[in-house]
Homo-oligomer: A and B are copies of this chain.
């Protein structure tokens, strides 16, 4: 219940007048749906456990690399996202509105603008490199579908202040370590690296103009979704490049290495891609990473290597999420240049991946002991049974155990055991007349059905 005063501020009359609350209320309230808002999720305890498990692994891996957790507010000023006015996505997907003071605000649709704002705010005092991560809840107005809701949580991992490809490598390594920590291996996922600077130079080498290059990029982006005939047609009709150039582009896609090597001396993009792949090989991560010219990423703040992680599920090969290098973003914000590399891993897609590959563990009950209250029709006796049950529960908690206790007196023991069973609690404690007299407790294991009686103090000492 809230500490803020409260919205359900009905007239205080109803309590004084003993008028039932239901009558005081507007009746339309009775017809409210129990469903959440479209495209958003309720996390019932069974869902929350999965969420906490995933977030826990994410956190552990990030911390193992020295990344520190941060968070920003759920609402930001609209301007933070409206960098380029008339922006299509801002206009179609952003949840934005005017607050009661006339400020235009938006619900964060991604974390990077907040991150850039915060880094710019403490730029001068933070030791570099800055290694940060966050798991914000983000919103976009989308048509809900598998893997895409209106809200999701997204692990954001970013490093600032390292210009070399070592930073690209570390960011990719964190992504790989996360996958491994969940039990995924190289047969299940793959990191595909792209680089637009490299593509630009490759196009230059093929004699493709800047204007045509933009069209080729767009065709490449659709490469995995269309047939190779349609792809060639796109290059011909849309990009208007020659048959010879189409052949060069297709050959480059099939076997990019010779072209990359021929550009190593002149192309920064070629150096970046080649550098990352070689560094990954030297450090035994090459089996997870490959160059893929069709990876271009939609986000135009990327300035160097970009990457997307692909689910290799043969039934549904697909991009799970992506990231890359963005060396100009903080500069845009605060006027100072600071290179950044990072990725954003969404929980909806991620959960689909874990479910599809059967990588989710079975979750045990978090409650370790269920303490029953021995029933009695004698009120004084029932009170004593209740008191000892609460006392034992408190002692178990003091030992660091998670303990659920039945609360009401004189409930049939079968009903209490059934509750413990439905909750999946392994150990049930029973303190009846004999136990109360002898200062012992009975512990029943719900799987084996076995029951053991021991002095209470001995039992507690055994938990240390």
Contacts and interface: CB of A to CB of B under 8 A. Distances in A.
Contact of A79 (B9, B32, B95, B403): B32
7 contacts: A3-B319, A6-B89, A7-B89, A7-B93, A9-B88, A30-B335, A66-B367
Nearest to A401: B64
A202 to B, nearest CB: 12
Contacts of A218: 12
A139 B73 CA distance: 10
A328 interface: yes
Nearest to A341: B1
Contact of A81 (B7, B111, B140, B302): B7
Contacts of A38: 101, 103
A283 B390 contact: yes
Secondary structure at the A interface, as helix, strand, loop or mixed, is mixed
User: Interface centre among A30, A94, A334, by most B CB within 10 Å?
Assistant: A30
Given A87-B7, A210-B13, A32 B110 contact: no
Contacts of A244: none
Given A9-B298, A97-B98, A129-B407, 17 more contacts: A1-B299, A4-B344, A7-B81, A7-B93, A8-B300, A15-B303, A21-B301, A29-B79, A32-B79, A38-B103, A42-B70, A49-B68, A65-B402, A99-B141, A100-B141, A166-B386, A282-B383
B301 A8 contact: yes
A21 B344 contact: no
A127 B397 contact: no
Interchain residue pairs A-B with the least CB separation, the first 6: A66-B404, A3-B321, A6-B299, A34-B121, A40-B73, A97-B97
Contact of A22 (B35, B299, B332): B332
Interface stretch (A112-120, A235-243, A429-437, A444-452): A112-120
Contacts of A403: 64-66
A412 interface: no
Nearest to A63: B402
Interface stretch (A130-138, A226-234, A455-463): A130-138
Contacts of A117: 32, 34, 36
A192 interface: no
A252 interface: no
Given A29-B83, A37-B77, A109 B7 contact: yes
A83 B101 CA distance: 25
B70 A299 contact: no
Contact of A137 (B13, B74, B111, B345): B74
A261 interface: no
B44 A122 contact: yes
A37 B105 contact: yes
Nearest to A105: B37
Contacts of A118: 34, 42, 44
Contact of A333 (B34, B303, B404): B34
A429 to B, nearest CB: 13
A52 B70 CA distance: 10
Nearest to A22: B332
A197 interface: yes
Interface in A381-410: 383, 386-387, 390-391, 397, 400-405, 407-408
Given A332-B30, A367-B66, A4 B110 contact: yes
B298 A37 contact: no
A349 B218 CA distance: 52
Contacts of A346: 3-4
